[in-house]
Structure 1
C-alpha cells in the first residue's frame, strides 16, 4: 500500500511507498527504512517504525513515531483522507503539530498563512479548528496521544517484526 499526500492544487507533495494495514481501524504500519518520495524526486526514510492513524471525515492524521527509547508524534492537518484498496490519499493543509519529548508545538504556521487564501473557506476553518484540537489533545495526553495507545501500537509492531523474522527449522 501507499500513502499519498497532495497539495491544495492536486499536485503531488509526498508519497510513502510502503505501508500495511494495522490491527486498529484506520491504522497503517510503516516499517523502518520504508522509502518516502518527495515531489522533487528525492527520497528519505525513518530509522524507526511509524504508525499512521486516520479517521473518516476528520481534518487531521497522526504519525506515531516509534523511536527506540521514546514515542513522539507528528500530526498533519489535512482534508479527510480517501481510502482505496491499495492507497490512502489526502490533501496536506500545511499546519502541523509536533510532539517531541512531551513538548507540543504548532509548526508550519507560516506556510499555512502564505497559502491558505487559496483554500476554500471551509478548509481554512476546519484547518484552524483541527490544529487547536490536536494541540489540546496532545497537551492532555488524550485521543491519539494516549500513552496506552502508543504502548499497544509499539507492542503490535514489535510482535509483528519478531514474527516475520523467525526462522522455522524442521
Structure 2
C-alpha cells in the first residue's frame, strides 16, 4: 500500500489537520484512505495526536466534503468536514476546511458542529457568497445522507476491514 499525505488548510491557507494515510482504493464515491490504530495526526504545528482506533477517510471528487469513518468503540461513527473540493497531486490530497462538521454518533444521533466558527470565518476570511451557499447546502444534505445513503451505511465497512 502506498502512503498519501492528507493536508487540510483553512481559507487563509494556514495549515490545519494533516497526516499520512494508506491508499485503500477508489470507487464511485471517491478515494479511500486508511489509518490503522496507533497512527498519528497533527493540527497545524501542535503536538501530534495518536489515534486509538483505526479509521478510514473518503475523499470524493468534485464534492464539498470529506468524511472520516471511525472503528468501534469510538463514539463518533462518522465525522464529515465541509470543505472545498479535494485536489489530488501525486501522493498528496489537499482541501480547504470550511468549518462546518456533520457528526454521527454510534447511537444514531446526528448534529452539526462549528456553526459559530463558520459564521465567524465568513467575516474574518471573507468567504465568497457562493462558497457560503455551497457549504451550507452540502451540510444540509449530509445531515440527512449520513443516516440514509451510501457510502455512509455499509460501504465504508469494507475499507475499515482493509485497514484493521
- Please state which band the TM-score falls in when normalised by the shorter chain: 0.7 to 0.9
CA distance, structure 1, for counterparts of residue 44 and residue 161 of structure 2:
33
Indicate the larger mover: 113-122 or 125-134: 113-122
CA distance in 2, matches of 1:41, 1:69: 23
Candidates 2, 27, 36, aligned match of 2:5 = 2
The answer to whether the 8 A contact 1:7-1:91 is kept is yes
Contact in 1 for aligned 2:55/2:160 (Cα 8 Å)? no
User: How far apart, in 2, do the equivalents of 1:71 and 1:13 lie?
Assistant: 20
Larger RCO (alpha carbons 8 Å, 6+ apart): 2
Distance 1:61 1:9 in 2: 19
Q: In proportion to residue count, which structure has more strand?
A: 2
Q: Does residue 74 of the first structure (1) align with residue 76 of the second (2)?
A: no
2:144 match? 136
Cα-to-partner distance string for 1:30-63 (whole Å, 9 max, x where unaligned): 1222221111422112111111101111000110
Residues 34, 45 of structure 1: 8 Å contact kept: yes
Report the RMSD for the aligned CA atoms in angstroms. 1.7
- Structure 1: where are the runs of 5+ without partners? 159-170
Q: TM-score, normalised by structure 2?
A: 0.87
Match of 2:97 in 1: 92
Give 1:68 deviation, angstroms.
Answer: 4.1
Structure 2: stretches of 5+ with no match in the other structure = none
CA contact (8 A) 1:5 1:90 kept: yes
Q: 4+ residue runs of structure 1 moved beyond 3 angstroms? A: 68-71
Match of 1:145 in 2: 152
Deviation at 1:24, TM superposition (A): 2.9
The answer to whether residue 111 in structure 2 is matched with residue 108 in structure 1 is no
Deviation, 1:113, is 0.9
Q: Is the 8 A contact 1:34 1:46 kept in 2?
A: yes
